[in-house]
Structure 1
Amino acid sequence: MNAPEQTTLDRTEWQLASAQRGRLYGWFSALYALEVSDEMFQTHFANGRFAPFAGLGELGLTAELTRLDTAIASLRALPLPRLELAADYAQLFLLDAKTGALPYASAYESEDAAAPLYGAAEARMREFLVAHKLAIEPGFREPADHLAVPLAFMADLAERDATRGDIARAAQDQVDFLRSALLGWLPRFAERCRQARPQFDFYPALAMLLLGFVRADALFLDDVAGSVRPAA
């Protein structure tokens, strides 16, 4: 999935790009939904690298990937790396806004670090889900504006829209959602991950990679929405 100055896609190319993008959004969602499991640590952090995201270097995110790989390498040198990562997850995402980086859009709706949760951003995300006949899994007991939810929504949307008749309209709808539900607060979330200073750099590095990916994807979708080559 490249993002050149102007992107023209036929239907097959759009379907391939949609599948790749959907997988990436799904992986990001899983990493924020829960602490990294033993199985995920073994499969995703193979040989000291973040295996699923190797292709993101094509989007100009080489520095972000290198930073993440460095953080993973430092974790793998420890006797119990997954437990160390779980401690950072708890510090950042499960405690409070003053010492962590709460993964809720409503926590960033104002400049106030103590902004209340369950605000307008949560209501908007619930409306998106209802409009698309989706629901949060019963076992995921978080508000709808938890970062994992819009990321999972994008994964589902990319899969659904892969076969949609109007590619330009599908791309426009997706980029509109990114701007409404993610891009307005992701930069502040990434900065909070840095300011919270967890023991390891994995989650701050992951946040910067996510931000870079979403920004690149928005540019890609803008290009597709503006210039689509009809199928032969």
Structure 2
Amino acid sequence: MPRLINFMKSRWRAYNFLSEVYRKEITESFLRGVLNESIFTEYSRGLQEFVESEYWNISAIFDDLIKCTRELIDDVERSILKLAEDYAYLFLGLGGLPHPSESSYLSENSLMMQEPRDEVLGIYRNIGVRKCEDYREPEDHIAVELQFMAYLCRKSIEALAKGEESEGRRYLEAQKDFLHNHLTIWVPKLAKNISERAKTRFYRIVGCITEAFISAEKSVLDKLTSLTNLTDICLENEVSFDGSMQETLIKQSSMSEREKGEIKSYYKLLGLCGIAQGGNLVRVDVKDGRILRIKPVHYDEKYSLEELERVQWRIEARGKTFESKMKELVAPFALVYKNRVYSPNRVRYPLKRVDWDQKGDRHPENRGKSGYIRISWDEALDIIADEIKRIKDKYGSTYAILALADGHQQTKCIHGMHGTITELFIPLGGCTWAVRNPDSWEGWWWGAKHMWGMEPDGLQHPQTNLLLDILENTELILCWGCDYETTTWGFGDQGLSVWGFWFRDVGIKQIFICPDLNYGAAVHADKWVPIRPNTDAALQLAIAYVWITEDLYD
């Protein structure tokens, strides 16, 4: 029955074909190759002959794809651009759809790299394969899962052709299990989204083919795994595989690679602001390239109490002793940072507007309207460097570049005054800063000068025993419009929350003046003054008036 071998090979080709469609943007060579394909014609013929399935219309859908492809090739340059724009819209997050991976479609909040990815990775290991490192998508990406099925198809054909029936059946059963436990669970949802949301007819047809093919495969594998004497059917049939359809995302792994899976820990600062020093030091536990958990660093996990005693600081004030903690007091946003890493809204590749030409028409009127296409990191960096050079050549300096410095940014970001943008532009001659009023800074900037007579601003520099000074000498702390339980997280950690309890322990009163009962006021306030919004100046003038008229000021 050589026709059965041809049918099994058509399955291998179909999985590889669909994997290539989802792997990356469509190229001209791929489009021209579609015109010469007869994959789904052969597949539909096999369905009718061996499965007696009603899914023979897959061939008609593929014929529609070929007609669509002919139309695209008539204006191939424009078509490739439109398809790239649609690919970014459907699969790179610009259309608001989940990431095309099993985790994103099955997890709450559409997060990537969740438990389904780990399950798929375990299956790959058991079979003895792994994803190629140069493909940067996760193991449960649609392209990788489809190519894994192609690999299983090829291995089953090769084994049966050699007379190794048990090995051939093992690969057939693996296909059936993977299809039922993974592909059929989430791929129909992906295909439906593509069919309904794609901007191009090409991808709408791809969605239809994908949905029909996965549905048909359930019947196909039920039939193939029920056949007897598969070796007699396939033995001595000549088996060859088209080199252009070989798997490129999956490769065999060694035993040592299959046995990997140990948990590795990394230490990292996750402070929100670029000027943060020492805050939010966490331990990130990673297994198989996926973040498992983020925990505060516990110093007593690595060092003995005797070692920690030598570096631990203590303060004695008003008969009480206060000392540093044995763990980092990490801010909540740092502990859930992995949700940000695996968010479907994360822009994971550089993109540029589809109608933006650096050396031609830039169409500024289409900002926020036109679509985007993916570009390489090299191209993105070249564009940035060329634009900086262009501005410097045109205006004589880089001062024509406006840098938005609104105060607080994430650590290591290149934009913003506290980021590395200063290191970028200072050697080039500087730039123009757009700095908003530092309203989160003013109180300390001026108040510290009067209270302690010192210039370093805020908690960003080594202090001169200010905590000891407060604990020993302060009677009352006034928190006007601030919430030190939460707003300090960006600069450091939750250490100031601990200080607040220490203030209470030594009898320091705390008054919070704020319209809302914020966290700091709710936890620490001896008195909360719920001032009406925009009446702060009136209250401040009234207080000053009482001080002056009743001779209460020092």
Which interval holds the TM-score relative to the shorter structure?
0.7 to 0.9
Q: Could you say which residue in structure 2 is the equivalent of 1:185?
A: 186
Deviation readout 1:59-91 (Å, 9 max, x if unpaired): 411442244234324423435222221111111
- 1:76 is aligned, of 73, 78, 82, to 73
Q: Secondary structure at the match of 2:189?
A: helix
Q: Could you say which residue in structure 2 is the equivalent of 1:7?
A: none
Kept in 1, the 8 Å contact 2:124–2:130? The answer is yes
Aligned CA distance change for structure 1 residues 20 and 137 (closer, same or farther; 3 Å): same
Q: Which protein is richer in strand relative to its size?
A: 2
Could you tell me which amino acid in structure 2 is paired with residue 20 of structure 1?
S
Kept in 2, the 8 Å contact 1:35–1:89? The answer is yes
% of aligned pairs identical? 24
- Equivalenced residue count is 215
Kept in 2, the 8 Å contact 1:101–1:193? The answer is no
Where structure 2 has 5 or more consecutive residues not aligned to the other structure, the ranges are 48-55, 234-554
Residues 51-66 of structure 1: matches in 2 within 5 Å?
Answer: 51-58=38-45, 59=47, 60=56, 61-66=58-63
Q: Could you say which residue in structure 2 is the equivalent of 1:20?
A: 10
Q: Could you say which residue in structure 2 is the equivalent of 1:130?
A: 125
Kept in 2, the 8 Å contact 1:99–1:196? The answer is no
Q: Distance in 2 between matches of 1:115 and 1:202?
A: 26
Higher relative contact order (CA 8 A, sep 6+): 1
Q: Distance in 1 between matches of 2:141 and 2:129?
A: 15
Give 1:177 deviation, angstroms.
1.1
- Of 27-36 and 73-82, more deviation after overlay is shown by 73-82
Q: Distance in 1 between matches of 2:44 and 2:219?
A: 16
- 1:30 is aligned, of 10, 20, 23, to 20
Aligned CA distance change for structure 1 residues 101 and 76 (closer, same or farther; 3 Å): farther
Could you tell me which amino acid in structure 2 is paired with residue 187 of structure 1?
P
Q: Distance in 2 between matches of 1:197 and 1:23?
A: 24
Could you tell me which amino acid in structure 2 is paired with residue 130 of structure 1?
R
Kept in 1, the 8 Å contact 2:195–2:208? The answer is no
Where structure 1 has 5 or more consecutive residues not aligned to the other structure, the ranges are 1-9
Q: Distance in 2 between matches of 1:16 and 1:56?
A: 9
Aligned CA distance change for structure 1 residues 133 and 206 (closer, same or farther; 3 Å): same
Q: Distance in 1 between matches of 2:3 and 2:65?
A: 29
Could you tell me which amino acid in structure 2 is paired with residue 30 of structure 1?
E
Deviation readout 1:88-113 (Å, 9 max, x if unpaired): 111111125x6345311112115x6x
Give 1:171 deviation, angstroms.
2.6
Give 1:118 deviation, angstroms.
0.8
Q: Which protein is richer in helix relative to its size?
A: 1
Q: Are 2:102 and 1:102 equivalent residues in the alignment?
A: no
Give 1:51 deviation, angstroms.
4.9
- Of 57-66 and 139-148, more deviation after overlay is shown by 57-66
Kept in 1, the 8 Å contact 2:10–2:40? The answer is no
- 1:143 is aligned, of 123, 127, 138, to 138
Aligned CA distance change for structure 1 residues 71 and 42 (closer, same or farther; 3 Å): closer
Higher Cα Rg, which structure: 2
Kept in 1, the 8 Å contact 2:98–2:104? The answer is no
Deviation readout 1:155-179 (Å, 9 max, x if unpaired): 1111111114235554332111111
TM-score, normalised to structure 1, is: 0.81
Q: Could you say which residue in structure 1 is the equivalent of 2:220?
A: 220
TM-score, normalised to structure 2, is: 0.36
Q: Secondary structure at the match of 2:228?
A: coil
Deviation readout 1:167-200 (Å, 9 max, x if unpaired): 55543321111112211111110111133232x1
RMSD over aligned CA atoms reads 2.5
Q: Distance in 2 between matches of 1:82 and 1:56?
A: 28
Q: Are 2:208 and 1:208 equivalent residues in the alignment?
A: yes
Kept in 2, the 8 Å contact 1:101–1:196? The answer is no
Aligned CA distance change for structure 1 residues 52 and 227 (closer, same or farther; 3 Å): closer
